[in-house]
């Protein structure tokens, strides 16, 4: 076969396929959509893709990850290399799972078999759980404690099986990588967690240690949720020193939790390096506090400036409004820490009480530890940026009525521990009355 024919072969073949689409398909498609996991009552509402209709480009448009315009651009036939355009032009009607590669199809069969096995196991284990739950604790040799332990371990095993059932599915992988995974399903949460822990988590932990968040603010802390921030639409890497004009408005947080269910969150932004010259030490100041924010794995963005406004859909109460971070001239950089706290037992906090406690004068000497302990919260998320004196700080402070822009800090001067040095040299020696004759040379020089 000449080279040119070899190159054109897949195109021709796919064209032939699309031409014969009118004829009923001879290729047996897998009986059911591969990753449309069975609906489970312990999960939230999941939208099942229709089992009969395979995913097409037009279906992707409805996804939430990309805007329709972006998708249009991505899938347009006028962009990219010639090879890509040829592939797109001739294969847009072939669904992903029907890609005509023998190895791919064979592998899918094997993965499918494995999945069936796992599903059967899940069913068996669930029944076992039900049986144990129904059984009287006295029938076990270990009694009630044994029963509970057994149930916990079985439930953990079922969760593990749920992930194992879908972990090898190429469609799941694809959907996750396209950002269209349904976070109500354990597999996508698992994948998201794994991706977060691969790098972002490590960076956050490094920032916590190198910026002494532990032990300055908390004795120990391990974040369990992904928190990213962006100022004025610009994503900011943790620990960046930002211009005070950029930080004049509150950031938008991009948050992802990896465990199932609804929960209530509080968001705290605090300055960990407020110089207090009276006590000659650094204290903390609360820059922002919002509470009672309902959150679940499907939610992503939390614009802090919108919390408390009636038009904001997500909900939540604003206790302490945003105070732009500022560092007076000469003070070392200020660490602005963003903490996400989860309410234990989903208890709602009294925003009015928080406002009374922490707004106004209560902002100063703020302690995240005491907030956590007083209101029964757990700290789960963290991010950080820094603030320094810059050319815009004075203007920002003036706009927001913050006093102190006219102050400049300077390094404290310490007197040398060495005593005063005796004057040395020819002239110094001849200052005494003994050398009175030489005074005309030694006194009033220059």
Q: Which residues bind another protein (CB under 8 A)?
A: 8, 11-12, 15, 77-78, 82, 85-86, 89-90, 212, 214-217, 219-220, 275-277, 280-282, 329-331, 405-417
The nearer residue to another protein, 11 or 132, going by C-beta atoms, is 11
Q: Give the containing element (helix H, strand E) for 123.
A: helix 102-134
| Whole-number Å distance between alpha carbons of 61 and 52 | 19
What are 125's two structure tokens? 């284990």
Strand order in the sheet with 252-256: 234-236, 226-231, 252-256, 301-303
Q: How far is the CB of 33 from another protein (least distance, A)?
A: 28
| Whole-number Å distance between alpha carbons of 188 and 200 | 17
Q: How far is the CB of 405 from another protein (least distance, A)?
A: 7
DSSP 175-209: HHHTT---TTSHHHHHHHHHHHHHTHHHHHHHHHH
Q: How far is the CB of 331 from another protein (least distance, A)?
A: 7
- Three-class DSSP category at 301: strand
The nearer residue to another protein, 310 or 401, going by C-beta atoms, is 401
Q: How far is the CB of 278 from another protein (least distance, A)?
A: 10
The neighbouring-strand residues paired with 241 are 386
The answer to whether the beta carbons of residues 430 and 437 sit under 8 Å apart is no
Q: How far is the CB of 275 from another protein (least distance, A)?
A: 5
The nearer residue to another protein, 284 or 343, going by C-beta atoms, is 284
Q: How far is the CB of 366 from another protein (least distance, A)?
A: 14
The nearer residue to another protein, 256 or 328, going by C-beta atoms, is 328
The nearer residue to another protein, 15 or 154, going by C-beta atoms, is 15
Cα–Cα separations (whole angstroms), residue 242 to 86, 107, 356, 384, 385? 46, 50, 30, 11, 7
The nearer residue to another protein, 177 or 364, going by C-beta atoms, is 364
| Whole-number Å distance between alpha carbons of 10 and 241 | 53
The nearer residue to another protein, 64 or 281, going by C-beta atoms, is 281
Q: How far is the CB of 281 from another protein (least distance, A)?
A: 6
| Whole-number Å distance between alpha carbons of 254 and 295 | 12
What are 356's two structure tokens? 């009374």
The residue behind tokens 């369990």 is: 224
Around Cβ 269, how many Cβ atoms within 10 Å?
26
């Amino acid at each position: 076969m000449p080279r040119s024919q070899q190159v054109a072969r897949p195109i021709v073949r796919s064209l032939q396929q699309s031409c014969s689409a009118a004829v009923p398909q001879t290729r047996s498609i897998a009986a059911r959509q591969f990753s449309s996991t069975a609906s489970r009552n312990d999960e939230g509402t999941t939208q099942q893709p229709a089992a009969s209709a395979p995913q097409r480009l037009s279906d992707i448009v409805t996804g939430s990850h990309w805007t329709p315009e972006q998708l249009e651009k991505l899938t347009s036939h006028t962009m990219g290399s010639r090879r890509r355009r040829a592939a797109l032009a001739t294969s847009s009607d072939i669904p992903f799972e029907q890609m005509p590669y023998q190895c791919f199809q064979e592998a899918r069969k094997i993965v499918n078999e494995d999945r069936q096995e796992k599903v059967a196991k899940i069913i068996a284990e669930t029944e076992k759980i039900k049986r144990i739950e129904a059984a009287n604790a006295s029938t076990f040799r270990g009694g009630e404690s044994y029963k509970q332990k057994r149930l916990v371990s079985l439930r953990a095993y079922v969760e593990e099986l749920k992930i194992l059932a879908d972990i090898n599915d190429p469609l799941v992988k694809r959907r996750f990588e396209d950002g269209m995974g349904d976070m109500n399903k354990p597999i996508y949460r698992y994948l998201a967690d794994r991706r977060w822990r691969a790098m972002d988590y490590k960076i956050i932990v490094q920032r916590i240690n190198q910026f002494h968040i532990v032990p300055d603010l908390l004795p120990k802390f391990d974040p369990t949720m992904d928190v990213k921030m962006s100022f004025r639409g610009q994503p900011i890497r943790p620990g960046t020193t930002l211009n005070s004009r950029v930080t004049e408005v509150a950031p938008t947080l991009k948050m992802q939790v990896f465990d199932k269910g609804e929960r209530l969150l509080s968001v705290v932004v605090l300055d960990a390096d407020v110089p207090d010259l009276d006590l000659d030490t650094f204290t903390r100041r609360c820059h922002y506090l919002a509470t009672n924010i309902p959150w679940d794995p499907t939610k992503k963005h939390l614009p802090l400036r919108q919390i408390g406004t009636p038009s904001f859909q997500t909900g939540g109460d604003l206790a302490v409004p945003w105070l732009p971070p500022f560092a007076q001239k000469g003070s070392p950089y200020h660490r602005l820490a963003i903490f996400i706290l989860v309410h234990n037992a989903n208890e709602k906090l009294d925003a009015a009480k928080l406002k009374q406690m922490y707004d106004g004068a209560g902002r100063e000497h703020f302690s995240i530890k005491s907030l956590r302990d007083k209101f029964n919260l757990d700290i789960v998320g963290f991010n950080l940026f820094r603030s320094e004196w810059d050319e815009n700080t004075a203007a920002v402070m003036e706009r927001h009525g913050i006093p102190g822009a006219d102050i400049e800090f300077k390094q404290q001067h310490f007197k040398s521990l060495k005593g005063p040095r005796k004057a040395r040299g020819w002239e110094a020696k001849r200052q005494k009355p003994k050398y009175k004759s030489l005074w005309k040379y030694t006194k009033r020089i220059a």
